[in-house]
Copies of this chain bind each other. A is one copy, B any other.
Amino acid sequence: MVRISDVAKMANVSTATVSRVLSNSGNVKKETAEKVLEAIKKLNYQPNLLARQLRRLETKTVLVVVPDITNTFFSKILRGIEQVAIENDYEVLLGDTGNSLEREKGYLDILRQKKADGMILLTARLESHLLEEISHEFPVVLACEYLEGSDIPTVSIDNISSARKATEYLISLGHKRIGFLSGPMDVILSRDRLKGFKQGMMQHDIAIEPNLIQEGDFSFESGFNLMTKLLALTEPPTAVFASSDEMAIGAIKAIKAKGLKVPDDISIVGFDDIKFASIFEPALTTVSQPMFEIGQKAMELLIKLIQKDKLEKSQYILEDQLVIRETCKEKKKDMIKM
């Protein structure tokens, strides 16, 4: 392995001078610098980052903890993170928890062991005091999620208001029996979406029926299963608002499996606007999150934290948008009951 001392020897200078050439800092005579650069090229020298990092006590690496890397929602955010990371010479250490709480916890140690300068969490199911604690010691940014009553910097959309908007859209189409497929209740964003749903309903004086609200886990499979349950009710909903696109698609499959049609028989709204939402048939009406931008912003904030810059605020709310495609329709006229 080629070390800085090898370069120094070949160029007939001290390691300090080589280092100065490397970092472009300080005063090095032109000719000396040229000698050094030549030696570097000749030896194909690459500085050992471990040594540099140890000396500088920084890694130029950020840890990104993702609940499920195979979900395109998260990988799109990751893309945004990575873009800003590259622009600022940071590397991304990936922590996929596979929805395991234990693994989520385990990744905190990587930060403590200085393997990364900071951390972006796309999931926050850990006990909040753990997160609070580590965020006091190290730079931490939450994306999508946030922590109630905490001042950990956060980038997300306003889940409550976007869920309310989506609900009101269904109401505006004449729907009153609206089902709600929720995400897991231990994540705040699920609770927010539910809250938004309830707000929308109440604002139009529509009673909320508990058995039209079902808790799932954002997955396709849970969407399918919960919708099947809803369809088994004596009076199934005429519209359903799902807390993720995957669930929405699962729900549509369940509806189709019963021989019913979307949107003719039942309207569906999803959440996220993953790539597949527009490819699926019928194309999904959904709340579109600016995933790439969320990632970018989160990484920008993290870099600021690492550099100990002051943030203007700790909660950044990005704009979402209700994208209307093909899965919603005016409620059918009630049949005259016999």
Contacts and interface: CB of A to CB of B under 8 A. Distances in A.
Interface stretch (A48-56, A197-205, A301-309): A48-56
B109 A46 contact: yes
A177 interface: no
A110 B93 contact: no
Interface residues of A, number: 43
Contacts of A86: 103
Contacts of A49: 113-115
A69 B59 contact: no
A94 interface: yes
B93 A46 contact: no
B93 A91 contact: yes
Contacts of A47: 113
Centre residue among A61, A110, A276 by max chain B CB count within 10 A: A276
A96 B76 contact: no
A287 interface: no
Contacts of A91: 93, 110, 115
A143 interface: no
A73 to B, nearest CB: 10
A114 B69 contact: no
A316 interface: no
Given A53-B50, A112-B46, A75 B79 contact: no
Given A93-B91, A94-B92, A112-B46, A79 B69 contact: yes
A275 B70 contact: yes
Interface in A51-73: 51, 53-54, 57, 59, 61, 64, 69-70, 72
Interface string A275-308: 1100111000000000000000000000000000
Nearest to A275: B70
A272 interface: no
B114 A48 contact: yes
Contacts of A64: 94
A11 interface: no
Contacts of A61: 93, 115
A163 interface: no
Contacts of A94: 64, 78, 82, 92-94
Contact of A72 (B50, B72, B103): B72
Nearest to A112: B46
A302 to B, nearest CB: 16
A249 interface: yes
Contacts of A92: 93-94, 96
A164 interface: no
A70 B69 contact: no
A334 B326 CA distance: 36
Nearest to A57: B50
B79 A70 contact: yes
Give 3 closest A-B pairs by Cβ, nearest first: A94-B94, A46-B112, A49-B113
Given A46-B113, A64-B94, A79-B96, 6 more contacts: A50-B57, A72-B72, A91-B115, A93-B93, A253-B279, A281-B281
10 contacts: A50-B59, A61-B93, A64-B94, A70-B72, A92-B94, A93-B94, A94-B94, A253-B279, A256-B281, A281-B281
